[in-house]
Structure 1
Amino acid sequence: MPPDAPAFSVVVPVYRQWEHLPRLLAALAAQADAPGFELILVDNEPEAAAPRPEAPPGLALRILACARPGSYAARNLGAAAARGRWLVFTDADCRPAPRWLAALAAGVDPGSLLAGPVEVVGGEPPNPCEIYDMIRGIPQARYVARGYAATANLAVPRAVFEALGGFDPRRLSGGDAEFCRRAGAAGHPLRLVAGALTRHPARADWAELAAKERRIKGGQIGAGPLPRRIAWTFRTLLPPLGDTRAYLAAPAPWRWRAVAVGIRFRLWGVDLTEMLRLLAGGRPRR
């Protein structure tokens, strides 16, 4: 590794979200007490020729192209070009807090993976779809307790990433959980760094919620070991009572909790329809 290599390489896949990039770039340019880092954006739809953002002064930025569909294939390509000792993954629509990288640097533990909290934020006031997404959230602490983390806020030692062969590029969803579990099985634990916060905008309409639900279902039923896929198929047939209990117990106004439960049952219909499509031979969606 070159002696002038940065401590961190921040890798961000971009698929039809270029309008979010100026805010992400501003948040990264405003990092306080951060170690040296570079930013690698990976265009996952290069044929679209979307307008590219300009980097703020002082922010080391590279933009790469990945024609293979899927955010995990894009992350692998970005990681292969990275120069940092640590690979830090986030998403194009995320807004890292000012001390995000400083907190990750303070929590560095050789051989371990690091995850930070993800706060889902909506409008003022949030609409029903935003309310649902905020209550559902991205409960990173709960994920870490189960051995995985969302790539909205995940840091991996570069040597560990390379030794494990990176993410499974065939997956369009769930590749973060699969990678973290594979790392754990190889002796690389996952730790939560509470101060390494990033924020994620809530999905603001039904189309966005349904698209995410279909993508997740594709990762559950359309990829991975056969026993896990069968288990997810049977779980999909059951009403979402576990989610209902969790949403009703959320620290939110009663009206919000009721809205979240109602939308979750409506999304169960999306789950069932997508399950049938996948079982009939349909391909997982992006």
Structure 2
Amino acid sequence: MIHLPFKASIIVPVYRDWEGLRSLLEALRTQARDDVELIVVDNDPEGQSAPDDLPSPGLEWHIAECATPGSYAARNAGARLARSDFLIFTDADCRPAPGWLTAYLETPKPANALVAGPVIMQAGSNPGEWEIFDTVRGLHQEVFIRHGYAMTANLAVPRAVFDRLGGFDARRLSGGDAEFCRRARRQGHDLLLEPEACVFHPARKTRLELVLKARRIKGGQVATGPITRRILWTLRSLVPPVREMLAYVSSEHPMRWRLIACHVRLMLWSVELHELVRLLLLRQAPERR
């Protein structure tokens, strides 16, 4: 048996978000360990160098490069470099809560299970309409798990399972986490929630950020994967997001926030319809940012 030097490897893809990474590194300082490594994968094909003044996360860490476009290709590259039997994925714009690593590493769990933690959306002190929408919409990891998948913003996978599955589909620019989890479940691996392994995610503050995300997700839905699923997503995209807006209206947020969320969601639906035209009729490339 080969003895690996670390108990876990944290893998973080980054695409020009060095300020986000700076905050993540600072958040990791509170849970410094010598049995965990951090692998940051720079996914910028133009090779813009990382700032020289990034803070130490209190873990052994290094920055690798992956010029292949897409965060899933970058995560695969990080996994190949990992020197442990347990891979923990998060994103440069996430902030691991104190106790995040302890919850993943010290809580007993089945040997071949995928484990995911909550992703808690955070708004600032004086949020605008875009930030309000992103907070009301949220990122409900526990709901996603009930539907058979989890976000790589907060997902842990045994190395043996990851290798057996062949990693993420590197061709995907969006939705690769859902496809990976469903593939794992079809092969008999459980997907479990670890409620104490939380990360925080700042709500997006600008229209551009939300538009780029909507376009990226739509590309993952209708431009990649099996043809039957792509057709289904195309048809679903043509239906107004009434069910989603009803969920906003019935949430516990202030009524003003609920109404703003519904208004912004309708705006984003128009963005999605335009993206369908761009992808399916004009045959243009999916958004990667």
TM class by shorter chain equals over 0.9
* 1:161 and 2:131 correspond: no
Gaps of 5+ in 1: none
In structure 2, the partner of 1:282 is: 284
In structure 2, the partner of 1:211 is: 212
Contact 1:144 1:190 in 2 (8 A): yes
Farther off after superposition, 55-64 or 146-155: 55-64
Deviation, structure 1 residue 158: 0.3
Contact 1:40 1:82 in 2 (8 A): yes
In structure 2, the partner of 1:42 is: 41
In structure 2, the partner of 1:114 is: 115
**TM-score w.r.t. length of structure 2:** 0.95
Aligned-pair RMSD on alpha carbons?
A: 1.4
Q: Name the amino acid aligned to 2:64.
A: L
* 1:16 and 2:19 correspond: no
Give the alignment of 1:74-113 within 5 angstroms.
74-105=74-105, 106-113=107-114
Give the alignment of 1:167-182 within 5 angstroms.
167-182=168-183
Contact 2:27 2:57 in 1 (8 A): no
Sequence identity of aligned pairs in percent?
53
Q: Name the amino acid aligned to 1:88.
A: I
Three-state SS of the structure 2 residue aligned to 1:177 is helix
**TM-score w.r.t. length of structure 1:** 0.96
In structure 2, the partner of 1:61 is: 61
Q: Name the amino acid aligned to 2:229.
A: R
- Go from structure 1 to structure 2 and tell me whether the alpha carbon gap of 1:63 and 1:2 turns closer, same or farther (over 3 Å shift): farther
CA offsets, 1:119-177, max 9 Å, x none?
Answer: 01111021111110011111000000001000000000000000000000000000000
Aligned pair count? 285
Give the alignment of 1:187-202 within 5 angstroms.
187-202=188-203
Instruction: Detail structure 1 runs of 4+ shifted over 4 Å in the superposition.
Output: none
Three-state SS of the structure 2 residue aligned to 1:188 is coil
CA offsets, 1:34-92, max 9 Å, x none?
Answer: 68210000000152224255452742001100000000000000000001111000000
- Go from structure 1 to structure 2 and tell me whether the alpha carbon gap of 1:231 and 1:6 turns closer, same or farther (over 3 Å shift): same
In structure 2, the partner of 1:225 is: 226
Quote the Cα distance in structure 2 between the aligned partners of 1:169 and 1:7.
26
Deviation, structure 1 residue 29: 1.9
Give the alignment of 1:241-256 within 5 angstroms.
241-256=242-257
